Every structure is written in structure tokens, then in C-alpha cells.
Amino acid sequence: MALVSQIVIWFACILLFAGAARSSQQETSSEETIVRISVDLVQVDAVVTNSKDEPVTDLTTNDFVILQDGKPQEITHFSFIRTADSPSPAAATRKASSAKGRMQPMPPPPPISVRRESVRRTIALLADDLGLSFEHAVRVRQAIRKWIDEEMEPNDLVAVMRTGGGVGALHQFTNDKRMLYAAADLLTYNAASRVTASGGQSSGTSRKDAYGFALPMVEEERDLIYTKFTLGSIQYVVEGLRDLPGRKSIVFFSESFKLGFDGCEGQSQGRDIAMKGPLQKLIDAANRAAVVIHSIDPRGVTNTDNVCALLSSQDGMVTLAKQTGGLFIANRNDIARALEVADDDGNGYYLIGYQPDARIVAEMRKGKPKFHKIEVRVKRPGLKVRSRSEFFSSPDAKPSPELLTRQERVGQALQSPFAGGDLRMRLTALFWRTKEEKSFINALLHFGADQLVFSDEPDDWHKATIEITAALFASDGQQVDFADRKWNLNAKGKTYEYMKKNGVSFLMNIPVKEPGAYQLRLVLRDTANGRLGSATQVIEVPNVRDGKLALSGILMAADKSKSEAAADQAEGLIEEADSKSTPAVRIFESGETIAWAYQILNAKTGKEDKPQLQAQIRLFHEGREVYEGPASTLTSQSQGGSKRMIAADQMYLRQLPPGYYVLQVAVTDLAADVKQRTAVQTIDFDAQKPGKK
């Protein structure tokens, strides 16, 4: 039973991690859109559609009836939440030209950072690789990639996950398609799947390994344990969604998720009893976190003589969708279209609430909660309503941050998908290559010093002590590196006054061993008062060992000499005359000149052993291209025999409208192979009206 022990330990670890995540939850700031369970209010969301499955948005309080345990309740709270007011503006189209000196094809526009207040939908795409065959794992991956390409909106916050490994949900919510593509590529067939590679459901009393030897766990026992593991993974994702903004949903892909509630004789074998507790715990968590779970069976139209077996394999998906107000989508051969239907659902929904009676209030206050059935009905004929089906009469838990230890608070901040905290922070993470050909992530951190506690020292000196904790996560959510720094900030006179007024910039170097897409999270802590701030950024580290052309991150400043000087600066405090126009902040005024510097790695040499490089820049404003420069020849030389070169350029901003901009640099190596000759890098900045600095 060694394998059984391993599986039990594996599942227990997931539940332990999920429990840790639950202990660090915070109340969301958007009270209007929260499904609430308290002594004052029981509130649920509901989606109403007509006979054509089109949303109905003009209903009033009088059109609804809400029942608790079969008894009508007086509706005291009612509102309609619209999450999709109008179609999003089309992304900038890719230009094509055959003009001499133009590099083609140009890469797609870079992503725009999404701000918390701008998020409209938060979507977790969860592939149950413990319940997918090889064929359908591939089809799910393709459908998700197509959805990212064609349906994902700029203000969506999305995660791509799998149940069987690297769930890492809290470290993957992003609107950066690079990170999502990398995560989607990990959706492959899992040899531990409850479904065989060909899609069949095994039915023997025991299973065999690759050599034909019987393994100790009988099939039904193994299936049950792995189903619990899938359920635990969904629970973890739900808890991760609890504090996120927008309309929150999980789209769950599986072809075998048996809970034993379908009523088929001989199919459950006591499974319904074993799954009842974990399922109720999950449903309650989803209801409190206002998470809707949509389920998609990727098998499409299925012809089978064993209808009971088919229903049994789908009953878990049906149950999750029904009890959280989601959709169960089956019998669709186009998985991408099914995903589109799920993600469009809930673009508008109703929030309906009532005051619980004395019995429910007593249950909450005495600490003896029970599950209660809840049903939302609509009076208008011909309409259908979907809502949550039960709740647990336990008031929403509110964490007590003052009871957490320093490690717990830092860990909580590292797990949060959004930057936040008491201290204002801005993070710029740039890939960089040293002269010794070592790869680093340079973390440029800017934070407000007016919120730090400075102690008075002799001779008019002032001192504050900060701790900076950094964690690096791979695209599968696994932590690959961790670093702690403690730093004393000492200042006096005008330097101290400037620091308090304009903030502090700090450079932290984080070694990175392997190429890939990463998410860097930093937490800043003031040791004097325990205040925290956090920031995060997705960064892509190129594979420089394969000899292909690559670019480092871009250092941008208002002064060309400063952008170049920052390239190999030592770790620590960055001294500056104007904090806003430095590489760490990048806020410029219209009419200023901006300069940037970056490394070119693995450039080939052509005639006379000299590189043949061309660079071209494009400028984007709020996601739309506003400028495309001509291709220009670079004359940079390598540094001391290393494989890196430093390139620099500048631009006069003229009458640039205020707003958020992205500069994209594309470098083409004319001496390299056609397939490996172009590399692209981007950096963002803000423009403001003159006189605001």
C-alpha cells in the first residue's frame, strides 16, 4: 500500500496548503458584488436567461422569489451588476510591408498592465488532468490557447491551471498572454489520470504497472482518492479567488469526475458518502467567495450503450455547476466555443438578499451552523434562473492581521495576486546578463519613504530599517527562488528631506538559473512598525545558451548617461536627482527626451567580423500603435570579448498626450539564420502634462 500512502500524503499536503491560503484571506473592497453570509444579510447572485439562453437584464425585485428551506423570504437587497457594458476596443492590427529596410513580420502589441479597479472578470481555466485522456488533454489545451488568442479581454484577469500538478493558482492570475501561453503548454496528459490514455474507463478490480505487475490499489479506491485530490485542487483555486475583483468564475474541464450522486445503481459503491463532506465544504467556499463554477465535458457528442456510466462520469461536473450557479456544457464537439459560452455567461447578474430569521442568527452566534437550501425563482413565464443552491449558516470569517506573525504576514503578501499593502511600491523587473555571463533579474523598486519610521541619530542623521523579501515563481506556480535583504536607510539634511518627499529607489539582484517565464513578487517591510507593501511583475528570461539572438530588459530614463550607467549598478540604494524620470519610476513630461539602453546577446558577426544589426521601435498608447519608426543600423560593439553588446537610443516626446505608453524595441540580426534573427523587448512608462513634477 506504498502508493496509497504517497497519494494520501500528496492530497493532505494540498489541503494543508489550501488551509494556509484560507487563513490569510482578507475582506474584498467591493462590498456590492460579494455573496455575503452574515447575521445581517444572506445574499446570492442569480443569472436569468430567456428561451434562447439570452440574458434578461430588466427585472425588478417584484419579479423574484427567494426561498430558504422551502420558505419564502422578504427580499431586502436587490441590484443588477453589469460586467460587460460594451465591446472592448480592437487591438492594434499587425502591419505588413515589403518596403526596403522594414523588418517583417512585426510582433503583436505588448500587453497592457491591468489595474485592480479596472478588472471586469477574473477567470480560472482549470484542466482536470487527473480526469482527462491524452486526446482530450490536447483538445483542451488547443481550446484554451484559442480563447487566449481571440476571446480574452484586456481587463480580464486569467489563470491557467491543472489539478494534477503545479496548481499554483495564486501566482498565475495575470493578463499577460506570454505567461498564460506558458501555463497552457503545461496542460498535457497525466499518467496518473483516472482516464486511460485512449479515453476508456478502466473497470478491473486492480490496475497494473507498465510491466504488467498488479499494483496494490484497486481501481475504485484509486479513482476515489484521485477524485478527492481534484476536489481539493478546486477548493484551493476557489480560496485563491476569494479576494480578487470582478466577476469570478472557474471553467473546469474534465471527462471523469464521479461523486456518486447520479443515482445509478452499482456506480457509487459508497462514493456519495465519502464525497459529501468535501463537496459541501467546497460549495460553501465557492458561495462565500462569489465564485461560479462552469463545467465542460470535452468529449463532445458521445454515443454509448452504457448511459449510466456516462451520467456517473459527469455527475460531479453537473453538481458543481448547479450548486454554484454555473453552466454544465456537454455534447459540444467545439470545445473552444463551449469555453466562449461559459466565459460570456454572467456578463450581467442580479444580487438578491434577505435578512436571516432568528433561528439562523442563533445558529451563527452559538457556533452551531447547518447547511440550508436556498432557491431563487423568477415569476415571469418563459425565463430560466441559475443561482447557488445552499449555504452554511456560519458568518463570513474575518481575519485578524494583528495576530499573524511576521513570516505569516510576509507569506500572505507573497501569495496575494495583486500588489497592495500599507506601503506604496513600484516594481520594475528586468532581465540582465553580467560581464561574467551570468543571468540576473534586476529588481528596481521605488517606494514612499514618508510612511517609513525614521529614528533620530546623532549629528542630525535619520535611520530607517527595511526588509525586502523576493520570491520567484515559474509558470507552473512552483517557487524556484527566494531571497531576503535587510537594509538601513541613513540620510540627513536635504537628502533626508528629498527622500521623505520623493521616495526611495532600491536595486535588488536576483540570480536566475534557467530560462522561462517567471513571476517575481517582492514584499517590503518596515521593521519599526511592521507595515508592508507588495508588488509583482511577470518577466521572461530568454535562453541565451542556445545561441539565438536575445535582448535584455530595457533601462529607460530622462538622461541617456543615467540609463547606460544603471546597467551594471551594484545592489543597494540608488541615488537620484529626480526620482520620477529614473528607470525605477519612468514618469515623463510631454516635451522631454527619453533615453533607453539594453543588451544585445548572441549577435552574429558578418563581413569583417562585425555585427549586422538593425533596430526598429514602435510606441503604443493604451494598447494602440501611435508611432512606428524606421529600421536603423546599430553600431554597438561587444564588451571585453563577451557575447553581450550595449545599445542605446533616445526619443523626443513632443506633444505626447498624457497616459500609459509601451515602447517596443525589435532588433534584427542580418547575419543570423532567418528563423532566429529577430528579438523583441518592451518597457512601459507614463506621460503627463508639463509642470506636474
**pLDDT (tens digit, 9 = 90+) per residue, 508-539?**
999 898 888 787 888 889 999 888 888 777 78
Q: What percent of the chain has pLDDT over 70?
A: 74
User: The domain containing residue 77 runs over which residues?
Assistant: 33-83+348-398
**What is the helix (H) or strand (E) element at residue 362, kind and residue range?**
helix 358-366
Looking at the structure, tell me whether residues 394 and 405 fall in a common domain: no
Q: Which segments of 399-513 does DSSP mark as H helices, in order?
A: 406-415, 493-502
Checking if the pLDDT of 456 tops 60, the result is yes
Looking at the structure, tell me whether residues 320 and 223 fall in a common domain: yes
Higher pLDDT, 419 or 3: 419
Mean pLDDT of 584-610: 85
Question: Would 88 be classed as within a structural domain?
Answer: no
Looking at the structure, tell me whether residues 218 and 329 fall in a common domain: yes
Checking if the pLDDT of 62 tops 90, the result is yes
Question: Would 25 be classed as within a structural domain?
Answer: no
Q: What is the dihedral of CA 442, 587, 28, 482, to 10 degrees?
A: 10
How far is the C-alpha of 666 from the C-alpha of 631, rounded, in Å? 9
Pairing of strands 71-73, 644-652: unpaired
Higher pLDDT, 539 or 492: 492
Looking at the structure, tell me whether residues 388 and 406 fall in a common domain: no
> CATH no. for residue 65?
2.60.40
| Coil, helix or strand at residue 144 | helix
Mean pLDDT of 22-44: 53
How far is the C-alpha of 624 from the C-alpha of 109, rounded, in Å? 8
Looking at the structure, tell me whether residues 405 and 383 fall in a common domain: no
pLDDT at 293: 94
pLDDT at 200: 55
pLDDT at 109: 58
**What distance separates the 2 farthest-apart alpha carbons in the chain?**
89
pLDDT at 574: 77
> CATH no. for residue 207?
3.40.50.410
Domain final residue, candidates 493, 510, 541: 541
> CATH no. for residue 447?
2.60.40.2550
Question: Would 652 be classed as within a structural domain?
Answer: yes
Higher pLDDT, 685 or 222: 685
Q: Which of 219-228, 244-253, 302-311, 601-610 has the highest mean pLDDT?
A: 244-253
Question: Would 14 be classed as within a structural domain?
Answer: no
pLDDT at 111: 60
Question: Would 547 be classed as within a structural domain?
Answer: no
pLDDT at 6: 38
Query: What total number of domains does the chain contain?
Result: 4
pLDDT at 295: 96
Domain final residue, candidates 541, 569, 595: 541
> CATH no. for residue 604?
2.60.40.3880
pLDDT at 519: 76
pLDDT at 110: 60
Higher pLDDT, 333 or 113: 333
Looking at the structure, tell me whether residues 388 and 441 fall in a common domain: no
pLDDT at 97: 41
**Least confident range of 213-217, 341-345, 561-565, 594-598:** 213-217
Question: Would 356 be classed as within a structural domain?
Answer: yes
Checking if the pLDDT of 67 tops 80, the result is yes
Looking at the structure, tell me whether residues 432 and 480 fall in a common domain: yes
Mean pLDDT of 31-58: 76
Looking at the structure, tell me whether residues 671 and 605 fall in a common domain: yes
pLDDT at 267: 52
Checking if the pLDDT of 652 tops 50, the result is yes
Nearest to 320 by CA among 242, 227, 394, 223: 227
CB neighbour list of residue 87: distance below 8 Å, 6 or more residues apart: none
Q: What is the DSSP string of 277-321?
A: HHHHHHHHHHHHTTEEEEEE-TT-S---S-HHHHHHHHHHHHHHH
pLDDT at 277: 81
Angle of helix 335-344 versus helix 134-150 axis, rounded to 10:
50
**Least confident range of 192-196, 228-232, 525-529, 566-570:** 566-570
Looking at the structure, tell me whether residues 514 and 592 fall in a common domain: no
Looking at the structure, tell me whether residues 170 and 241 fall in a common domain: yes
**Least confident range of 167-181, 540-554, 671-685:** 167-181
Mean pLDDT of 495-517: 88
pLDDT at 383: 93
Domain final residue, candidates 345, 371, 390: 345
The predicted model scores a pTM of 0.59
Quick: pLDDT tens for 266-301.
555 566 677 788 888 888 888 888 899 999 999 988
How far is the C-alpha of 645 from the C-alpha of 638, rounded, in Å? 4
Higher pLDDT, 653 or 643: 653
Mean pLDDT of 379-398: 78
**Least confident range of 11-20, 190-199, 487-496, 596-605:** 11-20
Mean pLDDT of 474-502: 84
Q: Which three cell numbers stand for residue 586?
A: 519612468
Mean pLDDT of 146-157: 89
Q: For residue 622, name the pLDDT band (cuts at 50, 70, 90).
A: low
Question: Would 438 be classed as within a structural domain?
Answer: yes
Looking at the structure, tell me whether residues 536 and 477 fall in a common domain: yes
Question: Would 17 be classed as within a structural domain?
Answer: no
Asked if 418 and 157 count as a contact pair (C-beta separation under 8 A), the reply is no
pLDDT at 551: 93
**Least confident range of 169-178, 302-311, 592-601, 625-634:** 169-178
Checking if the pLDDT of 167 tops 70, the result is no
How far is the C-alpha of 516 from the C-alpha of 469, rounded, in Å? 21
How far is the C-alpha of 52 from the C-alpha of 224, rounded, in Å? 38
Looking at the structure, tell me whether residues 169 and 298 fall in a common domain: yes
pLDDT at 128: 93
